[in-house]
Amino acid sequence: MYNPMELMICCAARLLENGSTVAVGTGAPCAAAMLAQRTKAPELVTFYEAGGVAPLLPTMPISVGDSRTFYRAVMATSMADVMETCQRGMMDYTFLGGAQIDPFGNLNSTMIGKDYKKPKVRLPGSGGANDLASFCWRILVLTNHDRRRFVEKVDFLTTPGYLTGPGAREAAGLPPGTGPYRVITDLAIMGYHETTKRMEVLNLHPGITLEQVQANTGFVIAAREPLLTTAPPSEAELRILRDEVDPLRYIIGRG
């Protein structure tokens, strides 16, 4: 058996090709990158915001500045160099998250409410998310799936997805061909329609229906045909995830 967090991490790891580059944060994205390196992508090049490039993580770090993110790294550099790598078009993927996401993949990690000066909830803000979303080729999001997160319009646009739809990123001066790619939740895997740039369901996780996904989404969401079913984690993936990547259950214990 496996829990939803383990399934999400396995799904994310499967998306990372060998030899690709990815900007990684802590938590589930870090677990996904570690799992990918130990299975299908041994030459995955990971970047950490504080400056670690291509480390071989011995154990799960607790922050992007943790000394383990520099362990046996190709470079121990700076945030400026990591962001410059993105600006030069050399970052294939970035993992991002937020309190809200809308149909076009825009993210809010700043505030909940309508009044910026007096929000219902004040959130941490962008950090480097805006820069990463603006210049990396493909944005990956891992999040739980509920109507409070998947909203018709974010309360505050912290991080750009496809903004208002087709052509909007390019009109804002962002590099053509960049933008949201996949959203992985405890219910499904979503992508974006090639023409409308709206989110759509690609895969349903085992035992989940499209009706459940719609009920937990605060906007109308279509499904791509043929609608696929996610392959469950293999015994090998679960063994590596549990025994090597996160043996103390810091991340997978949340499932």
pLDDT digits (tens, 9 = 90+) for 97-114: 999 999 999 999 999 999
Confidence band for 219, pLDDT divided at 50, 70 and 90:
very high
Backbone angles phi, psi at 159, to 5 degrees: -130, 125
d(CA 23, CA 21): 7
Instruction: Give me the percent of the chain exceeding a pLDDT of 70.
Output: 100
Residue with tokens 């799992």: 35
Confidence band for 11, pLDDT divided at 50, 70 and 90:
very high
d(CA 187, CA 245): 23
Q: Taking the alpha carbons of 41, 254, 217, 169 in that order, is the dihedral positive or negative?
A: negative
Per-residue pLDDT of 226-236, as tens digits, reads: 999 999 999 99
Fold classification of 4-254 is Glutaconate Coenzyme A-transferase (3.40.1080)
The per-residue pLDDT for 254 is: 76
Is 237 among the residues known to form the active site? Answer: no
- The catalytic residue among 49, 170, 237, 244 is 49
Task: Please report, in angstroms and rounded to a whole number, the separation of the first and last CA atoms in the chain.
Answer: 12
Confidence band for 166, pLDDT divided at 50, 70 and 90:
very high
